[in-house]
Each structure stands twice: as C-alpha cells, then as structure tokens.
Structure 1
Amino acid sequence: MMLEDLYRLLRAGHVQAQGIVDTMTQPIVVVDQAMIVSAANNSFIKTFRVDRDEVVGHSLFDVGNGQWDIGDLRRLMSDVIPKAAAIIGFEVQHDFPEIGQKTFLVDARKLVHPDDNSTSILVLFDDVTERKRADAEKDFLISETRHRMKNLFAVVRSLAMRIEVEGQTASDYRDIFLEQLEATLRAQQIASSSEPTDLAFLLHESVSETEVDRVKVDGDAVTIDSSRVVTLSMMFHELATNSLKYGALSVQEGHVAVHWRVENGSQEPAHIVLTWTDHGGPPVQPPSKTGYGTQLLEGASRHMGGAVELDYRPDGLVVTLRLPL
C-alpha cells in the first residue's frame, strides 16, 4: 500500500485503517503538532525495540531514550511539515543505540480530520540500510572495474609500443604481442584473486606449461602483494621467454634454477634477493643493444623500488633481483 492510499483511509476514519497500519512492514507513527505520538504500528515497536507504553503519549524525540532526537528530523517535522502537503524520501542516517547504524527514508503527510480542527502527521520510516550498502558496493565495483580496465589498456599500449619492430614480420609481431598479452592477462587474473599470492606459485604460473618442469624453484616462503603480481609475472615471463628462445630452455638438456632468500639488514628494510640462473644452454653473449626485455626488467625493478643485475656468463645468463618487502 502506498502512503497516499493509507493517508486517504486515515483521513476518512475508515474502520479498517488501524488494522491495515498494524499489518504494514514499514514502521509507522502518527504524531500531533506538538510531536506527541498518538499511534504506532507493530513494525515500529519491533524495529526500534521499544515498548508501546514508551511511545504512545510521548514526544517522538523522547522515544527510546532520545534515539529519534535527530537534528535533521527535528527540522523536517517542525519547519517543513507545517508548510508542505507531504515529504517523500527524506534520508536520515543515524547510529541507534539498540539497532546500530541505519539509514531511513522518512515519508510524512498531514492528516486533517474533517470532524475537528486538529492536525496530525502520519510518518513512515523505510529502512534502506541494506539497499544503500548494496548500492555503495556496486558503485565501488564499477569504479574498481573501470580503474582496472584503464590500467590494463595502459599495459596493452605499453606492450604494443615496446615490442621491437625492426627486422620483424607482421606475423612475428602478432605472435610476440599475443604471447605478452596472454601473460599479462594471466597475471591480472592472479592479482584479482582474494587469496595471497605465493612467490613459487607466481613463478610457475609465469612460465609456459610445457617448460614448467624444467624451471626448478627454491626459497623462503614469501607472499607477494597484489600490487606487484602483474609486474613480477611479466618479469618472470620475459626471463622464461628469453631462455626458451636463446638460453637454457631452448635445448632439451637445459634447465633453469630460481633461488631466493629474505634478508633482514640492520641499515635497510627486509628485502628479497632472487637469482635466476640458466644451466646447460648454448653459450651466451651480451646483446649489442638494449632490447625490450632488458628495458622491462630494469624499469619494472625500479618501479618496485628494487634493482636488477644481468650477468651474461658464457655458460648461461644469471639475473639477480633485489626487491624490498
């Protein structure tokens, strides 16, 4: 039943009006011009955990040890109601002693009885606490999705701009780009998980499934913050891709050993020292120019407040990564 329908019944003195009021799920009270409660339905009594004797015959603002003595509501009732035919959806937020933090939409309308000159006010309280919380969560999720999409587009653009095009065919560029993009999306999926990300797990997830058995990992238990998952995953993927093309993983007998430890220095905060070592691959020579992979490793490590060293040993590349915890 709408407030308008209830108003008509009460104003006409309909015999079923009070019974209808008591069956409504929204809390309802009727007050006079002095804000004294003349009637309260069962929902009001149950919702605000008060006794009927504590409500009827008392000021609305004294009910429940003054839990309705709210400045905004006082102004609504004392200033707005006498000047307006109705108030619809006035929002009241309050921390009630008995029921906790709640948000109500207050509807109010004057009841002018034809048999006398008295004026009463019908007041309905609609509890929208859960609805407001759900709306806030939805808005947060939408905002977070937009933020992540913006970041993802930035990453995709960065991938497209950084891939070397000199000497590459269109199909080569496409394959490299899609491979990098797939690794990035996989890292994004890991980062979006509510569970903490273990470093060993992240390493395995960043390596091709066909080569994961040839990458041996060993180190202290370390949990990676979600803000670093994507960056670290891209670094590990780049190292694995480089090894698969030019290093140890490019030959059947080669393998990679990844070891890390946590160091707690007296002069600096705790940090991780991770070493990636190629074993059994073809001879390695330093590149003639800085490529995408080196730029990625150096730039990503600086972004996380760390540093990376690349040692092109004849028997295999050794990469040492230092990151603050």
Structure 2
Amino acid sequence: MTLEDLYRMLCSGHVQAQGVIDTLDVPLVVLDQGFCVGAANPAFLDAFGIERDETIGQNLFGLGNGQWDIADLRTLLADVVPKAAAVIDYRVTHDFPGIGRRTVLVGARRLAPPGGHGKDVLVTFEDVTERDRADAEMDVLLSETRHRMRNLLAVVRALAGQTWTEGRTGEEYRDAFLGRLEVLVRAQDASLAGGSAADLADLVGRTLEPIGADRARVEPGPAVRLAAAQVLPLGLILHELTTNALKHGALSAPGGTVKVIWDVQTAADGATLVLDWREEGARRWRRRPGVASAPA
C-alpha cells in the first residue's frame, strides 16, 4: 500500500465518520484532550442556535456565554479519558443565548478506535426541558386527583351518614342513598364542565333530567356561576324537592308538573340568588317556599 493509498483511506474514513455524526439527530460534539471541539453535528448547532465556525476549534467551556463552564462538568469530563469512565445524564440548567432557559442532560464516552485507545471524547446533549415541564404538570395533576378523591370519598361518607334511616327498610335506605349519590355525580359533572365553578342552569337541567321535559320545566333567569362549595348543597336541595314531589307532590299525580325559576336580587350587602320551585298538579296548584343561596 502506497502512502497515497493510505492517505486516501484515511480521508475516506474521516468523511464516513463525519457523515455518521452529521446524520444523527442527537446533538453531539467530539472533543480532543484539551476539550476543544473537533466536530459538531447539525443537531447540536441547531439545538443551541450557534454557527459551525463559532464552535469548531473552540473550547467547550468557552462556547456561548460559558454555559458549559461548570466545575463539576469539567471534573467529570476530565475523568473520561484517563479512567475510561463515562458521564451519564449530568443535568445542566442554564439560560442559553437565543433559546432561553433550558435543562440539558449531558453524556460523554471516550471514543475507542479499532486497535487502540482513543483520547477523543464524544459528548451528547439531550434537551429535557419540555419533558420536565410535562412531568411537573403530571405530578400536579396526580396530586390534585388524589386530593379530590379524598374529598369525594369524604363527601360520600357524609352522604351515607346523613341519609335518614329511622323508620326505613334497608331497601328504602339504599334507594335514598343511591339517589343522593346520583346527585353527587351530577354535581361533579356540572363542576367539571365549568372548571371549579358550575353554571346554575346546567346544574338544574342535570338534576331534573330524569323527570323528563314534559313534567319538569325550567325557565332560566340571569346567568349564575356557582362556586364549587355551592354546587353539591344546591343539587341536594333540588334532589330532595324532586323526591318529595314524586312521592307526595305534583309529580305523584298524573299530569302534574314542576317549574323552576330564579332571579338574582341585589342589595347593599351583596347579591342573593332566589330560586322558586313551583308544583302544579291536575287539580291543584302548589308553590313551595323559594330557596335562597347567598352570595350569588
């Protein structure tokens, strides 16, 4: 093999190696013994918004505004060559020029060319900023879910304890409890549909839905947003009124109907919601006292 053939082989090998580096979509650089950048792939340049001529031949710790000039990282990389060690997922959080605050996992391994022990180091960079943000949001969501589940179970226990038992059979208690539990489900649906609050018209509609539109009429008043703490109590009130109407009131008679209307009364000390539950039977018209919830 002539010197020219050897030179051509070396050039070919270099081109192939550079091609492999440029093809990878993982940001990476190759450093020499002095931590100067010998090669950087397009993914690295794009990820950190820098030009190739600002990178090649420059010391890693001097790039940009010195974002990699970290004492621990210097020590870790210095140990890679003599000890054949590896840096795995070293976390760097920094305000990078042009791209803002990012969190990057740095990994490094010594290059081992065939038949020898190389002294160059391959350094990879994984931007995990969005992943960390998503993980943090998931942690908050799980924490909120656990909190809501504890609250929900506490409410279910309270419903079971507050459901009247005296003079009732087991079957009657079951039906009463399940009815109140259904109110809780509908109240939760109304709250979830409107965020932490709920729309009064939506809550009334969900509560009266089982009766049917032919026997329950809703005449919406002003738009009212109920606080989370108001949704379940008002839902239970409407449920009890519906139960009484089915057992003893207008809905117990053929052709009987109920009508729900409301208004908001404003005074110097705030606004008050006044809700009227009206029952009309086949032979008589019945009006129950209005239900008020303040403040509206």
2: CA distance between counterparts of 1:120 and 1:218?
76
The aligned residue for residue 135 of structure 1 is 135
Deviations 1:53-105 (A, max 9, x none): 011122334434x1x525xx612322233245111011223343423443321
The aligned residue for residue 294 of structure 2 is 323
- Identify which of 55, 76, 91 aligns with 1:80: 76
Which ranges in structure 2 are unaligned for 5 or more consecutive residues? 1-12
2: CA distance between counterparts of 1:193 and 1:95?
39
Helix, strand or coil at the partner of 1:50? coil
2: CA distance between counterparts of 1:172 and 1:246?
16
Deviations 1:196-232 (A, max 9, x none): 7421121111124325543433321122345543343
RMSD: 3.3
Distance 1:76 1:26, change over 3 A: farther
Report the AA paired with residue 247 of structure 2: K
Q: Give the Å deviation of 1:135.
A: 2.8
2: CA distance between counterparts of 1:135 and 1:94?
19
**Residue pair 1:191, 1:227 contacting (<8 A) in 2 also:** no
- Identify which of 67, 70, 75 aligns with 1:69: 67
- Identify which of 208, 221, 224 aligns with 2:223: 221
Distance 1:225 1:58, change over 3 A: farther
**Residue pair 1:281, 1:316 contacting (<8 A) in 2 also:** no
User: Matched residues, percent identical?
Assistant: 39
The aligned residue for residue 37 of structure 1 is 37
1: CA distance between counterparts of 2:58 and 2:78?
20
2: CA distance between counterparts of 1:240 and 1:184?
15
The aligned residue for residue 122 of structure 1 is 122
Report the AA paired with residue 78 of structure 1: R
Q: Give the Å deviation of 1:121.
A: 3.2
The aligned residue for residue 287 of structure 1 is none
2: CA distance between counterparts of 1:29 and 1:18?
11
The aligned residue for residue 207 of structure 2 is 206
Which ranges in structure 1 are unaligned for 5 or more consecutive residues? 1-13, 283-313
TM-score norm. by structure 2 comes to 0.78
Q: Give the Å deviation of 1:40.
A: 0.9
**Residue pair 2:107, 2:124 contacting (<8 A) in 1 also:** yes
**Residue pair 1:29, 1:39 contacting (<8 A) in 2 also:** yes
- Identify which of 220, 235, 242 aligns with 1:240: 242
Q: Give the Å deviation of 1:174.
A: 1.0
Helix, strand or coil at the partner of 1:324? coil
Report the AA paired with residue 38 of structure 2: S
Counterparts of 1:275-314 in structure 2, within 5 Å, are 275-280=275-280
TM-score norm. by structure 1 comes to 0.72
Counterparts of 1:48-197 in structure 2, within 5 Å, are 48-64=48-64, 66=65, 69=67, 74-83=70-79, 85-111=85-111, 119-193=119-193, 197=198
1: CA distance between counterparts of 2:204 and 2:294?
15
Mean CA deviation greater in 36-45 or 222-231:
222-231
The aligned residue for residue 262 of structure 2 is 259
**Residue pair 1:191, 1:230 contacting (<8 A) in 2 also:** no
Say how many residue pairs are matched.
275
**Residue pair 2:265, 2:273 contacting (<8 A) in 1 also:** yes
Deviation >6 Å, runs of 4+: 112-118
The aligned residue for residue 46 of structure 1 is 46
Q: Give the Å deviation of 1:248.
A: 4.0
**Residue pair 1:217, 1:258 contacting (<8 A) in 2 also:** yes
The aligned residue for residue 25 of structure 2 is 25
1: CA distance between counterparts of 2:72 and 2:78?
9
Report the AA paired with residue 223 of structure 2: A
